[in-house]
């Protein structure tokens, strides 16, 4: 019995020594941060700075050469259509001035005809878009088309309505320019017999004085800019993006305007992507090709003025039910992407197919399932088969 008891004690001691040896040579698990693959919304945006600007602005110029009276208006003053903006005492009419006045009338007449044609075309497009919207609403009510197609039809109708409003604005401005040109020629002729003849420059549209170029009395030549007039309540935003990003931007995409000074972001839609790029030098001294994206605001706050700096986020891709993980879990495996999945406290390398990314989250097309735990910020100590321990704090 004593011999058998000694054998048992020796066996226990040997087993304990073996356990200690195994533990001594077994690496401790690597502490890691992890996240879970989940299904949820994902939005990809392009974020750039932009500037607000009045959609329709009208440049008021001197219709004839003469002495400009000191303006009584200041920047920001409200004016109504037909209100007097400036007074000019024309210079004596010579052959050159007479020819210039007649040429200005002919140019104004051509602009009126062009504006009338644009109004007619815009009205046809607006009526067609309105019919398309009505059809889409009926089909959507019966479930024949998707919500996206209905939203596209409604947006097209809204854009067409605004295009018609813009065409009507330009037509009114052209008509006013024609009337001013005719009045200028008449005033020049009357000035020969009346030294007190004064030419009144009136507002073609209602709004506010945006800029005042001439603040003092002086002699001006015909065509000299006097002021800009527009309606600050009808505002748009211009955002310049890299040309490589502009190819992903399309009319109708949602835009969120942030950092404009208010508590909540403003919503809008892309109305136009300008076809030509321009060169701008970046802060690092690198030439960049930029493209202007024009955004229509859904609502314009009264506090928002012309030329204000804003930040615009253009939504170029968006989906509600996407399998996604944090982008920090991804690493390169050759030309493909991979992640480390935690399986029973062991890191397992797995190749995945990645779709859309926004810098924070990434869409996973293949390789993972909802609920799979993935390791964030994998370091060189982590490899396939390495034991890991997830941080709990």
Residues 133-149 pLDDT 10s:
888 888 888 887 887 78
Same domain, 251 and 358: no
* Residue 5 in domain: no
pLDDT score at 153? 83
**How far is 14 from 111, CA to CA, in rounded Å?**
104
Q: Check pLDDT > 80 for residue 99.
A: no
High-pLDDT (> 90) share of the chain, %: 37
The arithmetic mean of pLDDT across residues 14-26, rounded, is 59
Q: Say which residue, 205 or 4, is predicted with more confidence.
A: 205
**Sorting pLDDT into bands at 50, 70 and 90, what band is 302?**
confident
**How far is 259 from 256, CA to CA, in rounded Å?**
10
Model confidence pLDDT, tens digit, residues 70-85:
988 998 899 988 899 9
Same domain, 137 and 220: yes
* Residue 114 in domain: yes
pLDDT score at 29? 82
Task: Give Dmax (Cα) for the chain.
Answer: 146
Max mean pLDDT among 29-33, 156-160, 324-328 falls in 324-328
Q: Check pLDDT > 70 for residue 9.
A: no
Using the 3D structure, point to which of 303, 318, 333 is the last residue of a domain. Answer: 318
The arithmetic mean of pLDDT across residues 108-115, rounded, is 81
pLDDT score at 96? 59
- Compute and round to an integer the Cα radius of gyration of the chain: 35
High-pLDDT (> 70) share of the chain, %: 86
pLDDT score at 101? 67
Q: Check pLDDT > 60 for residue 326.
A: yes
Using the 3D structure, point to which of 212, 230, 248 is the last residue of a domain. Answer: 230
pLDDT score at 91? 73
Q: Which of 25-34, 153-162, 251-260, 343-352 has the lowest mean pLDDT?
A: 25-34
Q: Check pLDDT > 70 for residue 185.
A: no
CA quadruple 104, 110, 115, 116: dihedral, nearest 10: 130
pLDDT score at 203? 87
Same domain, 344 and 255: no
| Average model confidence (pLDDT) across the chain | 84
Same domain, 307 and 343: no
Same domain, 266 and 327: no
The arithmetic mean of pLDDT across residues 30-50, rounded, is 93
Same domain, 141 and 265: no
**Sorting pLDDT into bands at 50, 70 and 90, what band is 125?**
confident
Rounded to two decimals, the pTM is 0.66
| Count of alpha carbons within 13 angstroms of residue 95, beta-carbon side | 0
The arithmetic mean of pLDDT across residues 322-334, rounded, is 94
Q: Say which residue, 15 or 317, is predicted with more confidence.
A: 317
pLDDT score at 15? 64
**How far is 86 from 376, CA to CA, in rounded Å?**
67
Q: Which of 38-52, 129-143, 262-276, 344-358 has the lowest mean pLDDT?
A: 129-143
Same domain, 183 and 301: no
Using an 8 Å Cβ cutoff, are 87 and 199 in contact? yes
Model confidence pLDDT, tens digit, residues 269-288:
998 999 999 999 888 888 89
Using the 3D structure, point to which of 194, 215, 230 is the last residue of a domain. Answer: 230
The arithmetic mean of pLDDT across residues 61-66, rounded, is 83
Question: How many C-beta neighbours within 10 Å does residue 34 have?
Answer: 16
Contacts 24+ apart (CB under 8 A), 92-98: 92/191, 92/192, 93/188, 93/189, 93/191, 93/192, 97/64, 97/65, 97/188, 97/222, 98/185, 98/188
What CATH number does residue 32 fall under? Answer: 2.40.420.20
Max mean pLDDT among 219-223, 303-307, 311-315 falls in 311-315
pLDDT score at 312? 95
Same domain, 112 and 155: yes
**How far is 11 from 194, CA to CA, in rounded Å?**
130
- What residues make up the domain containing 204? 56-230
**DSSP collapsed to 3 states, the chain:** CHHHHHHHHHHHHHHHHHHHHHHHHCCCCEEEEEEECEEEEEEEEEEEEEEEEECCEEEEECCCCEEECCCCCCCCCEECCCCEEEEEEECCCCHHHHHHHHHHHHHHHHHHHHHHHHHHHHHHHHHHHHHHHHHHHHHHHCCCCCHHHHHHHHHHHHHHHHHHHHHHHHHHHHHHHHHHHHHHHHHHHHHCCCCCCCEEEECCCCEEEEEECCCCCEEECCCCEEEEEECCCCEEEEEEEEHHHHCCCCCCCEEEEECCCCCCCEEEEEEEECCCCEEEECCCCCEEEEEEEEEEECCCCCCCCCCCEEEEEEEEEEEEEEEEEEHHHCEEECCEEEEEEEECCEEEEEEEEEEEECCCEEEEEECCCCCCEEEECCCCCCCCCCEEEECCC
Model confidence pLDDT, tens digit, residues 188-198:
555 554 445 67
The arithmetic mean of pLDDT across residues 215-242, rounded, is 90
Q: Check pLDDT > 70 for residue 46.
A: yes
Same domain, 124 and 150: yes
pLDDT score at 62? 87
Question: How many C-beta neighbours within 10 Å does residue 236 have?
Answer: 20
């Amino acid at each position: 019995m004593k011999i058998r008891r000694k054998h048992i004690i020796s066996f226990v001691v040997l087993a304990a020594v073996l356990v200690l040896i195994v533990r001594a040579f077994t690496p401790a698990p690597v502490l890691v941060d992890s996240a879970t693959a989940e299904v949820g919304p994902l939005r990809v945006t392009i974020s750039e700075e932009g500037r607000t600007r009045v959609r329709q602005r009208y440049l008021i110029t001197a219709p004839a050469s003469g002495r400009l009276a000191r303006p009584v208006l200041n920047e920001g003053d409200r004016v109504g259509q037909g209100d007097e903006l400036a007074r000019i005492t024309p210079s004596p009419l010579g052959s050159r001035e007479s020819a210039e006045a007649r040429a200005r009338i002919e140019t104004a007449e051509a602009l009126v005809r062009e504006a009338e044609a644009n109004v007619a075309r815009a009205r046809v497009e607006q009526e067609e878009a309105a019919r398309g919207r009505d059809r889409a609403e009926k089909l959507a009510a019966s479930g024949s088309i998707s919500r996206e197609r209905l939203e596209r039809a409604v947006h097209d109708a809204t854009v067409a309505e605004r295009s018609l409003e813009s065409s009507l604005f330009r037509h009114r401005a052209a008509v006013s320019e024609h009337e001013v040109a005719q009045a200028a020629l008449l005033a020049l002729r009357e000035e020969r017999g009346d030294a007190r003849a004064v030419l009144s420059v009136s507002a073609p549209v209602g709004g506010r004085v945006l800029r005042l170029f001439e603040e003092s009395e002086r002699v001006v030549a015909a065509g000299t800019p006097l002021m800009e007039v527009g309606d600050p309540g009808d505002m748009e935003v211009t955002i310049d993006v890299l040309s490589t990003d502009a190819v992903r931007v399309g009319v109708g995409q949602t835009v969120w305007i942030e950092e404009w000074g208010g508590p909540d972001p403003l919503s809008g839609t892309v109305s136009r992507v300008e076809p030509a790029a321009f060169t701008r030098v970046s802060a690092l001294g690198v030439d960049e090709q930029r493209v202007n994206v024009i955004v229509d605001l859904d609502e314009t706050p009264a506090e928002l003025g012309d030329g204000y700096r804003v930040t615009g986020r253009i939504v170029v891709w968006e989906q509600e039910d996407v399998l996604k993980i944090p982008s920090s879990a991804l690493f390169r495996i050759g030309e493909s992407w991979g992640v480390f999945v935690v399986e029973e406290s062991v890191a397992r390398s797995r190749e995945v197919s990645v779709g859309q990314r926004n810098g924070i989250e990434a869409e996973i097309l293949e390789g993972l399932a909802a609920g799979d735990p993935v390791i964030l910020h994998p370091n060189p100590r982590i490899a396939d088969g390495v034991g890991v321990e997830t941080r709990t704090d």
